[in-house]
Amino acid sequence: MKRPLWLVLAVATLARAAPAVFGYEHFGDAPVRIEIAERWARNPHLWHGFAETYQFGPLHLTLIGGLVRLLGDRLVAARLLSFAGGLVGVWLLYRIAERERGPQAAFWAGLGLALSPLHIQASVTGASEAVFLALLLGAVLTVLQGDVLGPAVLLGAAGLVRYDGWMYVPLLGGLLLWRQRNALRAFACCAVAAAPALFWMWVNARWAGHPLAPIRYIDREHAHLARAAMESAGPLWTRLEALFYWPVVICVVVTPVLGFLALWGSARTLRRREPGWDLVALAWIPALYFTFRSAVLADFQPMARFTIVAAALSLVFAHDALKLLARPARAVALVVAVATPLVLAALCWNRAGRLAEWARPVAPIGTLPPGIPEAARWMRSNAGARDVVLVDEAVWYLDIPLVFASGLPEENSRSWSRAGAWRTTTRSGSNSAACRSAPTSDTCTRRCIAPARPGARRPLEEGGCPRNGQA
């Protein structure tokens, strides 16, 4: 490996070190993914489709579960998998850019992903984006190298980590056809890549009653979120926001200057039909599809995590735009790239409020609002072996990371899973207090999660904790 690649990988490792140690599991449904994988690790078996995996990719859950069995620690297992996926993703993007645009473009593309705040967060939590991106970039690179079986296997695996990977099967087949000019090889690649998806559809038809049960659930969730956005901000503003969402968010996801340069270089390459324009199409056709659903059909709620593939592949062309500018632009791009993750982390670490909640999903470190970590530590220190702690649903699903961060085993806690099922095992004779928690209130949260002791005053008798204005 050349020195710039070593430098980029060193930067990526250092940028992820502190968040891996001090961050919390929250976004990307990380706590739920880890708990489902941990449950599977106790009794490994062929997944029963949506009935067990819900909306999450079975391969990602299996990989976490396998590492849990190997390492014995669910948090270390999930983060180690994502950390490895993050570094491999940086390496693969460097190789793609080096092949398409040369070593300087590779350096800036790799550096952009290494310092991407969202990719850093995905690389140090139990979320699936870092692993998915590594598999997808591996499939792209092997296509560029002229392989057929490699990209098919990697893409098939990517589709079982995140279901949006399925839409890249025809797109990658098109890329292979364009690059190799061989329809039979392109068809064979698509057939092999689609095989895991077809098998998983059969599993879902067998156990969940419909081959696309996870996709239907995801679509219903996004339609609900889209309706809520319409009701909150109004149809006009919601559609306008969706129309410009992807390019604006990419300028945050891969830092403002590099994000702008990546968009500029990609658009320039596509407009001039320069070599590599097919990679731009591969990156942005899914973005156009989701934009159409959000801005026109209004049945999809865009999220920053969905932009990571388009952002990463667009970075390949950032140097094309950068070399058109004066030399100081490089220094500006580097300074802003380093500063952006630090600023986003500072905006949301141990902070609450509108700005903190805006920064939290894309910050480089997993954070929780003030009060939640303290409440989790209190639960961990004070809940006895025979206590059952009931945690009510909370805004932004904060009940989930609260219970997860407490580290209480399932037999000691009961909370609503985002997948919609109770997870509980109660013991006869256990004392418990059901509590309506308000995570935005520091004092209220700590008061309400206390398990009841014999003769102790019930939390709700102390005035209760209002949720949505009700006790």
Of 10-14, 133-137, 299-303, 421-425, the range with the lowest mean pLDDT is: 421-425
Rounded mean pLDDT of 248-264?
A: 97
The answer to whether 419 and 55 have CB atoms below 8 angstroms apart is yes
* Whole-number Å distance between alpha carbons of 118 and 120: 5
Q: What is the pLDDT of residues 316-365, one digit of tens each?
A: 999 999 999 998 999 999 999 999 999 999 999 999 999 999 999 999 99
Write down the pLDDT at residue 443.
Answer: 30
Which of 279, 349, 247, 341 lies closest to 100 in space, CA to CA?
279
Rounded mean pLDDT, 47-63: 97
Backbone angles phi, psi at 46, to 5 degrees: -70, 125
pLDDT band with cut points at 50, 70 and 90 for residue 2 = low
Position 225 scores a pLDDT of: 94
* Mean pLDDT over the full length of the chain: 87
SS3 for 391? strand
Q: Per-residue pLDDT for 113 more than 90?
A: yes
According to the model, what pLDDT value does residue 3 have?
64
Indicate the angle between helix axes 74-101 and 3-22, nearest 10 degrees: 150
**Cα 291–chain centre separation:** 19
Dihedral, 315, 320, 325, 326 alpha carbons, nearest 10: 90
Q: What are phi and psi of 386, to 5 degrees?
A: -105, 5
pLDDT score of 13: 98
How much is the pLDDT for 403?
87
* 25 closest CA partner among 271, 365, 465: 365
| The predicted structure's pLDDT at residue 301 | 94
Q: How confident is the model at residue 442 (pLDDT cuts 50, 70, 90)?
A: very low
pLDDT for residue 365? 96
Alpha carbons 292 and 21: distance in angstroms, whole number: 39
Higher pLDDT, 12 or 455: 12
Per-residue b or e along 422-440, where b marks 16 or more CB atoms closer than 10 Å to that residue's CB:
ebeeeeeebebbebbbbbb
Strand order of the β-sheet with 413-416 is 422-423, 413-416, 388-391, 432-435
**pLDDT value for 382:** 86
* 430 has pLDDT over 50: no
pLDDT of residue 421: 36
Structure tokens, 173: 């087949």
What's the pLDDT tens digit per position in 291-323? 999 999 999 999 999 999 999 999 999 999 999
Q: Per residue in 183-203, pLDDT tens?
A: 999 999 999 999 999 999 999
How many Cα neighbours within 13 Å face the side chain of 324?
A: 9
Name the residue with higher pLDDT: 396 or 87: 87
User: Which CB contacts under 8 angstroms, 24+ apart, belong to 142-147?
Assistant: 143/172, 143/175, 143/176, 143/179, 143/189, 144/96, 144/99, 144/100, 144/179, 145/99, 146/179, 146/180
pLDDT at residue 413, rounded to an integer: 58
Identify the pLDDT of residue 412: 58
Asked if pLDDT for residue 407 goes beyond 80, the answer is: yes
Strand bridging mode 422-423 / 413-416: antiparallel
The 10s digit of each residue's pLDDT in 135-182 is 999 999 999 999 999 999 999 999 999 999 999 999 999 999 999 999
pLDDT at 393: 75
Residues 372-394: pLDDT tens digits? 999 899 888 888 767 777 777 77
Closest C-alpha among 337, 422, 437, 427 to residue 379: 437
In this predicted structure, the answer to whether residue 94 has a pLDDT above a threshold of 70 is yes
pLDDT of residue 444: 32
Name the token pair of 440: 């935005």
Task: Supply 436's token pair.
Answer: 């309506």
Contact 369, 408 (CB under 8 A): no
For residues 445 and 405, the answer to whether their CB atoms sit within 8 Å is no
Asked whether the predicted pLDDT for residue 70 surpasses 50, the reply is yes
Closest CA to 251 of 240, 260, 242: 260
**How far, in Å, CA of 25 to CA of 405, rounded?**
8
Q: Where are the alpha helices (DSSP H) in 308-441?
A: 308-314, 318-322, 328-348, 354-359, 372-382, 399-406
Instruction: Indicate the pLDDT class of residue 71, thresholds 50, 70 and 90.
Output: very high
**Is pLDDT of 232 > 60?**
yes
Residues 6+ apart with CB under 8 A from 168: 136, 139, 155, 158, 159, 282, 286
- Read off the pLDDT band of 103 (50, 70, 90): very high
